[in-house]
């Protein structure tokens, strides 16, 4: 068995199956072009990324630091996901104009809605600056000295690099700090909301369908980027003009079919593909299960209240969605790592690594202790990372009152008897923030959540880290529910009228004194005190050791497995991933097709349902089969498709392109069975999910009647092929 696995591994490496990855656009020619062409790519590496001439990269932007967006017209029209734009959609919604419910489409440029605070960033060029960034760095240096030397080098790079006045420079580590790249970027702060479908299309299937295939969500929204008269970044002004990008994506009406070449261009956030078995085990067997158990409890509580009270349902839907999104991903991740034997694969890989270094005396001296030391360090850090997750999940993320106390904490701490100006200047902000909090706050929900969270904290962390204090408090109060009730009913932070009265009628010293004595604030401060005194120092001591060892292990892998191509882990920089449009078989006898269509939306339709309602107009279009030019030759309307592109969080809104660089889809999710891909990408199981551009155009044109937007796009009509 062991031999077979090694053989398989060697074969995979030899066949370049390891080519799955998130590749650096500037290195495509060297690393991937041949492979991509063999899979069907018609463009050259230079068409996809070029620092000198217009290329596909000029159409891609980082959307507000968490998602990706792309230019789909020469006039700055931007496409991204519904769930990436939802904050803006929500912000601009009122009772009379409920865009969340009804959707919104600006009928002309004048109706586009400015979005203060929203920004996008384009990459002008990227350069390998490893040699300069690591100048003066030596092997024996402490991690702190190393970092300060690197910081100095980076500062020097920033000040000397050639750039325009309106450009900015960023330098980022890759391969765990073995390489550095510099990016010259342009950041545009004037981005306006153009339109989005109603939530019943944009988040159709909501949390039930999230991370799941087959999928039927029309997860898209549109914005427009504005620039000054010279086409440079500028803060909002009514005189700004639509941005003219170096490139915009033509949109294919032909769609994507099983086996077609596919690539996704965007800003993946974070992956950990090169961890050791010990690292993966910690995530799979310790951290994920703990976080899942905590959120399981909190989600059940919130859901119970949401089902009983429609007002709670509205107030808690965004909160529920965001807690549930990571919960579901971690759940899928830990299951997938187990089902698809990630630890066995890591073990085999490490055995091969060890075998190879044993055959080379120089490698052996340098690296023979690496894996044992990493194993030891993971063991050393385990109680503390678990404590960190418990602290942040139970004390902060999954109840509202302690989180709010923590947020107020920074403000309260800024109080200075001799200089009250800073504190006073923030009062109006705090008031506004707290009004927003109270708008959706239901103390009865939070009481139940806090009781459960305090119990989980007390039962699962060490007595000397605050667990004992919480237990004693609960005993004194007569149980966790009673303790939670006592805290929340007596807390000013949980009571709008009391809180606003405090801020409007009392002096700064009185405000500070009252809040410091507040039972919620006091509890948070106590737990946080334990955390910073006992957990954090240990993390700060052990984590740098792991970082150092992991950096050495990364370098060692790249040298020992010379035949293998390594992509750097995702770090929110621009990457290209590629593969094929493909269905998959998650387990015996079960085969998933690569594409869904509108009939499937109607199969899932539950009238009036919170997650699966369908707008009347869409039902009518479906009944009439009125799909126009967006239909396949056999009369269907495709909605979503899947492919073998290696994506992660941050790739939301990334364009899915065909072999000619035409837009065929909009990335928005991954399949449940493959959520482990951040740690263990498996081409047989892992799939990214994209909305079909034909569905997007159909919704804009036929459903919303905003077809005038199509006038500025470039639609590519090809010979239609049969689907399914
Ligand atoms: N799972 C996707 C992502 O990680 C979509 C999340 C938004 N949808 C939701 N139902 N919460 O961001
Ligand atoms: N929905 C994710 C995002 O917002 C993308 C899905 C994934 O994690 O792959 O970035």
- Reported as a single tens digit per residue, the pLDDT across 60-83 is 999 999 999 999 999 999 999 999
Distance CA 247, CA 232 (A): 15
What is the mean predicted confidence (pLDDT) over 161-185? 98
- Residues near ligand 1 (Cβ within 6 A): 83, 206-207, 210-211, 321, 325, 649, 652, 669
Total Cβ atoms within 10 A of residue 305: 20
Say whether pLDDT at 289 is over 80: yes
Interior angle at CA 723, CA 70 and CA 252, nearest 5: 25
Residue 635: band (very low, low, confident or very high) from pLDDT cuts 50, 70, 90: very high
Say whether pLDDT at 722 is over 90: no
pLDDT value of residue 170? 97
What is the mean predicted confidence (pLDDT) over 150-158? 97
Identify whether the C-beta of residue 659 lies closer than 8 Å to the C-beta of residue 261: yes
Atom of ligand 1 minimally distant from the CA of 211: 1
Residues 6+ apart with CB under 8 A from 394: 294, 453, 454, 456, 457
pLDDT value of residue 3? 55
Distance CA 39, CA 125 (A): 27
Nearest CA to ligand 1 atom 6: 325
Identify whether the C-beta of residue 524 lies closer than 8 Å to the C-beta of residue 405: yes
Cα separation values, 268 from 81, 189, 236, 572, Å: 14, 21, 28, 5
Average pLDDT, the chain: 95
Structure tokens at 75: 């006039």
Cα dihedral 138/139/142/145 (nearest 10) = 20
pLDDT value of residue 8? 53
Global pTM? 0.94
Distance CA 114, CA 239 (A): 13
| pLDDT, greater one: 32 or 16 | 32
- Reported as a single tens digit per residue, the pLDDT across 202-241 is 999 999 999 999 999 999 999 999 999 999 999 999 999 9
Give the three-state DSSP class for 224.
Answer: strand
pLDDT value of residue 2? 52
Strands 715-716 vs 251-252: parallel, antiparallel or unpaired: parallel
Distance 83 CA to ligand 1 centre (A): 7
Say whether pLDDT at 343 is over 70: yes
Say whether pLDDT at 12 is over 90: no
Question: CA Rg, the chain, in Å?
Answer: 27
Pick from 479, 378, 494: nearest CA to 434 = 494
pLDDT value of residue 17? 47
Distance CA 105, CA 263 (A): 29
- Residues near ligand 2 (Cβ within 6 A): 67, 647-652, 668-670
- Reported as a single tens digit per residue, the pLDDT across 238-269 is 999 999 999 999 999 999 999 999 999 999 99
| pLDDT, greater one: 6 or 93 | 93
Architecture per CATH, domain 1-119+189-272+567-669+680-724, reads as: Beta Barrel (2.40)
Atom of ligand 2 minimally distant from the CA of 670: 9
Name the active-site residue from 219, 569, 669, 678. 219
pLDDT value of residue 18? 43
Residue 723: band (very low, low, confident or very high) from pLDDT cuts 50, 70, 90: very low
What is the mean predicted confidence (pLDDT) over 318-334? 95
Residue 717: what are its φ and ψ, rounded to 5°? -100, 125
Cα separation values, 408 from 166, 414, 536, 710, Å: 36, 10, 21, 47
The structural domains of the chain, with segments of one domain joined by +, span: 1-119+189-272+567-669+680-724, 277-554
- Reported as a single tens digit per residue, the pLDDT across 97-112 is 889 899 999 999 999 9
Residue to mutate (ligand 2; options 266, 666, 670, 691; most atoms within 8 A of CB): 670
Residue 16: band (very low, low, confident or very high) from pLDDT cuts 50, 70, 90: very low
Q: What percent of the chain has pLDDT over 90?
A: 91
Structure tokens at 586: 């998650």
Name the active-site residue from 58, 64, 83, 692. 83
Atom of ligand 1 minimally distant from the CA of 210: 10
Residue 313: band (very low, low, confident or very high) from pLDDT cuts 50, 70, 90: confident
């Amino acid at each position: 068995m062991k031999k077979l696995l090694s053989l398989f591994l060697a074969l995979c490496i030899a066949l370049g199956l390891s080519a799955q990855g998130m590749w650096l656009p500037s290195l495509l020619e060297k690393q991937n072009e041949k492979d991509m062409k063999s899979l069907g790519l018609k463009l050259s590496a230079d068409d996809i990324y070029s620092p000198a001439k217009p290329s596909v990269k000029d159409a891609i932007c980082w959307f507000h630091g968490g998602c990706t967006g792309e230019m789909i017209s020469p006039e700055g029209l931007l496409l991204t996901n519904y769930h990436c734009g939802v904050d803006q959609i929500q912000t601009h919604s009122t009772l009379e104009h409920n865009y969340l419910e009804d959707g919104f489409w600006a009928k002309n440029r004048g109706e586009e809605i400015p979005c203060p605070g929203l920004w996008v960033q384009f990459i002008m060029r990227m350069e390998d600056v490893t040699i300069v960034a690591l100048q003066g760095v030596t092997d024996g240096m402490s991690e702190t000295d190393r970092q300060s030397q690197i910081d100095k080098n980076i500062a020097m790079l920033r000040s000397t690099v050639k750039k325009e006045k309106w450009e900015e420079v960023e330098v980022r580590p890759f391969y765990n700090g073995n390489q550095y790249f510099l990016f010259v970027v342009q950041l545009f702060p004037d981005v306006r909301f153009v339109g989005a479908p109603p939530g019943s299309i944009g988040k159709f299937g909501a949390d039930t369908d999230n991370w799941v295939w087959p999928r039927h969500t029309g997860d898209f929204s549109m914005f427009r980027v504005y620039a000054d008269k010279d086409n440079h970044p500028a803060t909002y002004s009514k005189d700004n003009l639509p941005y003219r990008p170096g490139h915009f994506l033509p949109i294919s009406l032909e769609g994507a079919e099983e086996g077609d070449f596919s690539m996704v261009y965007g800003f993946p956030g974070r992956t950990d593909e090169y961890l050791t078995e010990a690292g993966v085990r910690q995530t799979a067997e310790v951290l994920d299960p703990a976080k899942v158990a905590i959120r399981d409890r909190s989600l059940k509580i919130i859901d119970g209240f949401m089902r009983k009270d429609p007002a709670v349902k509205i107030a808690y839907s965004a909160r529920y969605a965001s807690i549930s999104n990571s919960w579901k991903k971690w759940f899928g991740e830990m299951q997938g790592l187990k089902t698809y034997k990630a630890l066995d694969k890591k073990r085999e890989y490490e055995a091969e690594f060890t075998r190879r270094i044993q055959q080379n005396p120089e490698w052996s001296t340098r690296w023979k202790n690496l894996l044992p030391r990493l194993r030891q360090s993971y063991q050393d850090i385990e109680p503390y990372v678990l404590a960190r997750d418990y602290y942040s999940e139970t004390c902060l993320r999954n109840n509202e009152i302690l989180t709010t106390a923590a947020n107020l904490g920074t403000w309260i701490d800024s109080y200075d008897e001799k200089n009250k100006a800073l504190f006073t200047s923030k009062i109006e902000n705090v008031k506004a923030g707290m009004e927003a909090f109270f708008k959706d706050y239901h103390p009865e929900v939070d009481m139940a959540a806090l009781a459960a969270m305090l119990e989980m904290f007390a039962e699962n962390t060490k007595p000397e880290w605050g667990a004992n204090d919480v237990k004693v408090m609960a005993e004194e109060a007569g149980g966790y529910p009673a303790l939670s009730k006592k805290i929340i009913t007596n807390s000013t932070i949980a009571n709008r009228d009391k809180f606003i009265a405090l801020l409007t009628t009392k002096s700064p010293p009185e405000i500070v004194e009252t809040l410091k004595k507040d039972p919620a604030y006091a509890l948070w401060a106590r737990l946080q005190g334990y955390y910073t005194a006992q957990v954090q120092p240990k993390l700060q001591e052990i984590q740098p050791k792991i970082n150092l060892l992991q950096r050495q292990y990364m370098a060692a892998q790249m040298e020992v497995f010379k035949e293998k191509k390594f992509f750097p882990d995702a770090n929110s920089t621009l990457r290209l991933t590629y593969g094929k449009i493909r269905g998959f078989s998650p387990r015996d006898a079960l085969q998933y097709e690569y594409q869904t269509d509108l009939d499937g939306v109607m199969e899932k339709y539950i009238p009036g349902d919170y997650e699966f309602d369908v707008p009347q107009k869409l039902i009518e279009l479906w009944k009439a089969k009125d799909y126009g030019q967006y239909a396949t030759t056999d009369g269907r309307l495709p909605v979503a498709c899947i492919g073998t592109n290696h994506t992660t969080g941050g790739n939301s809104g990334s364009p899915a392109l065909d072999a000619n660089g035409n837009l065929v889809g909009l990335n928005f999710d991954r399949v449940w069975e493959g959520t482990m891909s951040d740690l263990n990408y498996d081409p047989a199981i892992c799939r990214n999910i994209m909305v079909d551009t034909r569905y997007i155009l159909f919704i804009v044109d036929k459903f919303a009647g905003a077809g005038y937007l199509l006038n500025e796009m470039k639609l590519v009509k090809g010979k239609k092929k049969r689907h399914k």
